[in-house]
């Protein structure tokens, strides 16, 4: 199994840390992982993205140009990455702020109203975990116990008290995912 994922959105939405938690959880589950962020001028323009690969085998290239899954959190990222999803692949996006919706007919498309729900529940800090929950509902690549271990490893010890809140957000996300187009 090899899963190549792009996570993209605004800086501050927790894009890079979502990728890190996913990658660390992969390590805890004894898999090979890579996490390759954008760090260049794009990032300084306010958008952030990270390519995460989780695999049973040694990962060759950490730099990839087509993905099994795209997790998209703003319009710029949707415009940039919709075309990079492999045919038959998965696109998950938060429709908040999206005016031009995806148009491809050869991929599976789901929405997750994560920012609206996070706002309602006052859980803005765990917004990214709601999104991660939606992804894990569709692709349960990592078992919950290893997500727990991944959170323990990713968060500094002084934030470990927040782990249950993060796990709750993942559960909420699992219930929010909605199919738009299923092949």
Partner 1 sequence: MKELRLMKGNEAVAEAAIRAGCDGYFGYPITPQSEIMEYLMAQQPEKTTGMVVLQAESEVAAINMVYGGASCGKRVMTSSSSPGISLKQEGISYIAGAELPCVIVNVVRGGPGLGTIQPSQSDYFQSVKGGGHGDYRLIVLAPASVQEMADFAGLGFDLAFKYRNPVLILSDGVIGQMMEKVELDEFKPRFTKEEIAKNTPWATFGKTDDRERNIITSLDLDSAKQEKHVTHLSEKYKLMEENEVRFEEFQTEDAEYLIVAYGSSARISQKAVDIARAKGIKVGLLRPITLFPFPKKPLAELAKQVKGILSVEMSLGQMVEDVKLAVECKVKVEHFGRYGGIIPTPDEVVAALEQKIIGG
Q: Which residues bind partner 1 (CB under 8 A)?
A: 20, 23-24, 27, 32-37, 39-41, 59-65, 153-154
Residue number with CB closer to partner 1 (64 or 163): 64
**Which neighbouring-strand residues pair with 177?**
112
Nearer to partner 1, 35 or 110 (CB): 35
Nearer residue to partner 1 within complex by CB, 129 or 177: 129
In the chain, the DSSP E strands lie at 2-10, 32-37, 47-55, 67-72, 85-93, 108-112, 177-181
Instruction: Indicate the residue among 46 and 97 with the shorter CB distance to partner 1.
Output: 46
Question: Alpha carbon 5 to chain centroid distance?
Answer: 8
Sign of CA dihedral 153, 159, 165, 170: negative
| Burial category of 140 from C-beta neighbours within 10 Å (exposed 0-12, middle 13-18, buried 19 and up) | exposed
- Cα separation, 37 vs 18, whole angstroms: 12
Closest contact distance (angstroms) between CB of 13 and partner 1 is: 19
Backbone angles phi, psi at 11, to 5 degrees: -60, 140
- Closer residue to partner 1 (CB): 31 or 77: 31
In the complex, minimum distance from the CB of residue 109 to partner 1, in angstroms, rounded to a whole number: 25
| Least distance (Å) between residue 107 CB and partner 1 | 19
- The minimum distance between CB 116 and partner 1, in angstroms, equals 31
Q: How far is the CB of 37 from partner 1 (least distance, A)?
A: 6
- C-alpha 177/C-alpha 167 separation (Å) is 16
């Amino acid at each position: 199994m090899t899963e190549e994922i792009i996570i993209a959105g605004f800086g501050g939405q927790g894009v890079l840390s979502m990728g890190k938690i996913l990658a660390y959880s992969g390590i805890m589950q004894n898999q090979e992982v890579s996490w390759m962020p954008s760090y260049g001028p794009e990032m300084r323009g306010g958008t952030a993205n990270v390519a995460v690969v989780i695999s049973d085998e040694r990962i060759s290239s950490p730099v990839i140009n087509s993905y099994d899954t795209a997790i998209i959190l703003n319009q710029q990222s949707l415009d940039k990455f919709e075309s990079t999803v492999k045919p038959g692949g998965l696109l998950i996006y938060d429709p908040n702020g999206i005016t031009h919706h995806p148009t491809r007919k050869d991929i599976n498309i789901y929405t997750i109203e994560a920012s609206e729900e996070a706002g309602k529940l006052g859980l803005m800090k765990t917004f990214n975990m709601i999104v991660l929950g939606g992804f894990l509902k569709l692709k349960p690549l990592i078992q919950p116990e290893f997500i727990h271990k991944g959170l323990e490893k990713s968060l500094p010890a002084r934030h470990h008290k927040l782990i249950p809140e993060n796990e709750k957000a993942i559960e909420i996300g699992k219930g929010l995912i909605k199919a738009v187009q299923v092949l």
